[in-house]
Structure 1
């Protein structure tokens, strides 16, 4: 058993990853990472979650749920920024933990993130489809149920809009990162303008009485969930946190960053700051325009609030821009997910086909199209609400690993790992707070999310023990690995 454990905890040499990823073109700048981060974080959720959390848990204090979730995400983002600056490898937490803690721990963190990206691609595509069909309905156009819903849901066979969206983004990414980034940058600007337009128009319809009491009295709802008080705010944190996990998509592309010691920290932390400001602004305006109870079971609170405040044209335009802007989240998730799959294939933990780059543009297109197929299948089989429950759990597990990894990283910086220009402040206190914050959010998740993440973990352990550990690149002499 000790020998088997030693085999499972073998650590990858960081120089091997540097060599393996050297063929990925370093073309991404701070501007690109800010667009990627904001585009991924400020996605479907900003147009839905503030209203849902206000009605279900926090009332007007939904803004505090947004802020507290951002504080936890920010603590983890500091850890991510140092990791990405010191080890700018494809695969983010999977590759870092492989170097810091060893293979089995890297596998656990990477497998947890893989669930996020598989599900997130389907989740974002389903949300885009639902909003697009809602926009069509406002013009009197309705898709048949067979082409509008996943298999077995409300007479559905396939959500054709979601499928087309995923395939279009995959085709765009397969042509090159620079092309995708140009599209991403334009769409992010349009989406931010739409959000600012909503805030500006909404401010003219604020009723101060809707903010009182700002923190409603705590009570347990009929369904057993917490509403009001700090308990309700905490329940809202676990829901809102779903929106902020997108900064991992920046780190996953660090092997393609120009001057990663500067671009990675600025991209990760900068995008999170922009995102939390936008989320809090939308939340405060929504609950100021109408009493939070109006947003109960409301799938489109932003559009609803504008229409009922007497701005139907603005509602249609902003919803239209929002639908187009949702492509930014799909681009970010598919870029990051394909780089993670590539990393698994690169290391032999999954079939090496996934770790091969295209011959002309040196892009991980095998991994990209595999992610596309899996995302389409998941989106075809599972409804939107089911997918929403599952995204945060896996990511939070990876976040906890990264926070604790800072302690091991500091011992090796300036030795076999580069000593980065950016370091997590207030060491050694902040890494511990980041770990405890992520753990606290995880404990606040729905029980189903925890159960399904446990099932996914067991499946991953079986895959690792039956395939990954036997085909790992660490089984080969280092000289052979470096030649691959």
Structure 2
């Protein structure tokens, strides 16, 4: 068995035939807004509270900076890959080019965990803000349908989380242009709300709330960075869209780097103000930003923030489900998953069947699983993907020095290894349960690969043999 057979770069870029090709309709601004749509949302509106209360305290701002530094290194590596291998699949496709099929499968399986669990966690966060908004109008859902299964709390299913997932899936199947337009509108709304929080909250900051600044020590800062790393996965989704971009070699690096820069700045400012408004020990709530404004008596602003948070988290869910569907599409087109997942609707040019299948799975997970475990699983999957891609871009410099690169990582050895080390360090800060679940997930993936993927890979066909990398 040749477990490290590599498909040529030219074959990866060429994609499929007309039946498995996606419409090129996105530009640099669309990608930037797609990245902002994925990054700004759950990280600010949901995870900031949990990370401050349980991990970092007021030093949450350092957690965001630490996670942001790791992301900068990874983003540069993603940008080079995206400019040289502009195809659907993100880290999965890049690993196919750099390391071969088995490692590509492992990355793809890892990304299935990342996107699927992230989508579910985001849907749960959306549910929290939506219910808070309804409560403000005196509307209360049946308690049993307000959260994931918890017999002690008397909850059995998160109905709002399930409903929003299905609505987003419906939008995604209508076409990438409609999806991008909806995302752009929601991004404008949520950026306005984030700026509103900053503009109102800055006048009510109490410096004494920043003392002690680092109550859990640097270990708390590091574990906080691991926990909120979930908030940074958006630029990975930007690279997933490469096959649907008109000029991917230029526009994808712009989308990745610009969206990361904007969002890191906003994360730092918001976390600084948030912990200055409310004692960190009181921030372990589903809607920390709205809660902070209510805490200082600005209920009018809290209401607007809840509306903006709903819009913001909606775009995160949109981009996560989009990325998951394109990942399934790429893996199916390569024969590693059933062919039905790469079937494209002739009218909308979207992989509609796989999008609905993903929607059903995410609906189930969001309805029954609690938020905390989901966020940790997403973080470890993301960090693993970032580290692998960062190593892969260094490998490609030596295995394919002739490859056209519209963007090149500066100081490649330093940036690549710094990304691997920083991502590995953050992975080590995650709890034992997360590691155990991650290892079990990878073992299941390997079983599926050897039982189905390897035998059904297109590289086993005469046509596929012709696409093998000979170098």
After TM superposition, the score normalised by the length of structure 2 is 0.94
Where does residue 457 of structure 2 map in the other structure? 472
Is 1:285 the equivalent of 2:284?
no
Where does residue 137 of structure 1 map in the other structure? 135
> Partner of 2:183: helix, strand, or coil?
helix
Where does residue 258 of structure 2 map in the other structure? 270
Distance 1:455 1:481, change over 3 A: same
Quote how far apart the aligned CAs of 1:445 are: 0.9
Residue 397 of structure 1 is aligned with which of 378, 381, 384? 384
Quote how far apart the aligned CAs of 1:409 are: 1.3
Where does residue 310 of structure 1 map in the other structure? 297
Whole-angstrom distance in 2 between the partners of 1:214 and 1:479: 58
Alignment of 1:381-420 (within 5 A): 381-413=368-400, 415=402, 418-420=403-405
Quote how far apart the aligned CAs of 1:213 are: 4.3
Is 1:236 the equivalent of 2:224?
yes
> Partner of 2:89: helix, strand, or coil?
coil
Residue 57 of structure 2 is aligned with which of 56, 59, 73? 59
- 4+ residue segments displaced more than 6 Å: 479-482
Is 1:333 the equivalent of 2:306?
no
1:338-376 C-alpha deviation (Å, 9 max, x unpaired): 000011110110111111211223221122111111111
Whole-angstrom distance in 2 between the partners of 1:301 and 1:28: 34
Alignment of 1:6-45 (within 5 A): 7-21=2-16, 23-45=21-43
Distance 1:481 1:340, change over 3 A: farther
CA contact (8 A) 2:373 2:434 kept: no
Q: Say which is worse superposed, 161-170 or 177-186, in terms of deviation.
A: 161-170
CA contact (8 A) 1:347 1:355 kept: no
Is 1:249 the equivalent of 2:237?
yes
Alignment of 1:70-89 (within 5 A): 70-89=68-87
Whole-angstrom distance in 1 between the partners of 2:204 and 2:315: 29
1:204-236 C-alpha deviation (Å, 9 max, x unpaired): 1122333344334xxxxxxxxxx12x2221121
Distance 1:163 1:214, change over 3 A: closer
CA contact (8 A) 2:206 2:276 kept: yes
Where does residue 451 of structure 1 map in the other structure? 436
Stretches of structure 2 that go unaligned for 5 or more consecutive residues are: none
- The root-mean-square deviation of aligned C-alpha atoms, in Å, is 1.8
Where does residue 173 of structure 1 map in the other structure? 172
CA contact (8 A) 1:473 1:481 kept: no
Distance 1:391 1:61, change over 3 A: same
Quote how far apart the aligned CAs of 1:413 are: 4.3
Distance 1:35 1:267, change over 3 A: same
1:295-353 C-alpha deviation (Å, 9 max, x unpaired): 2x333221122112121111111112211221100110011100000111101101111
> Partner of 1:48: helix, strand, or coil?
helix
> Partner of 1:8: helix, strand, or coil?
coil
Quote how far apart the aligned CAs of 1:152 are: 5.4
Count of matched residue pairs: 463
CA contact (8 A) 2:128 2:286 kept: no
CA contact (8 A) 2:32 2:255 kept: yes
Where does residue 220 of structure 1 map in the other structure? none
Quote how far apart the aligned CAs of 1:26 are: 1.4
Whole-angstrom distance in 1 between the partners of 2:127 and 2:55: 27
Where does residue 438 of structure 1 map in the other structure? 423
Whole-angstrom distance in 1 between the partners of 2:183 and 2:42: 15
> Partner of 1:360: helix, strand, or coil?
coil
Whole-angstrom distance in 1 between the partners of 2:383 and 2:257: 18
Residue 117 of structure 1 is aligned with which of 106, 115, 131? 115
Whole-angstrom distance in 1 between the partners of 2:421 and 2:219: 18
Where does residue 349 of structure 1 map in the other structure? 336
Stretches of structure 1 that go unaligned for 5 or more consecutive residues are: 217-226
Residue 97 of structure 1 is aligned with which of 90, 95, 98? 95
Whole-angstrom distance in 1 between the partners of 2:236 and 2:109: 14
> Partner of 2:375: helix, strand, or coil?
helix
CA contact (8 A) 2:9 2:97 kept: yes
Whole-angstrom distance in 2 between the partners of 1:103 and 1:261: 24
Quote how far apart the aligned CAs of 1:378 are: 1.6
CA contact (8 A) 2:230 2:382 kept: no
Where does residue 211 of structure 1 map in the other structure? 210
Distance 1:255 1:479, change over 3 A: same
CA contact (8 A) 1:90 1:253 kept: yes
Q: Say which is worse superposed, 327-336 or 374-383, in terms of deviation.
A: 374-383
Quote how far apart the aligned CAs of 1:377 are: 1.8
Q: Say which is worse superposed, 470-479 or 12-21, in terms of deviation.
A: 12-21
Whole-angstrom distance in 2 between the partners of 1:325 and 1:208: 29
Quote how far apart the aligned CAs of 1:263 are: 0.8
Whole-angstrom distance in 2 between the partners of 1:164 and 1:205: 37
1:364-404 C-alpha deviation (Å, 9 max, x unpaired): 11221111111112223322233222111122221111011
Whole-angstrom distance in 2 between the partners of 1:372 and 1:25: 22
> Partner of 2:233: helix, strand, or coil?
helix
Whole-angstrom distance in 2 between the partners of 1:163 and 1:293: 30
Whole-angstrom distance in 1 between the partners of 2:165 and 2:197: 28
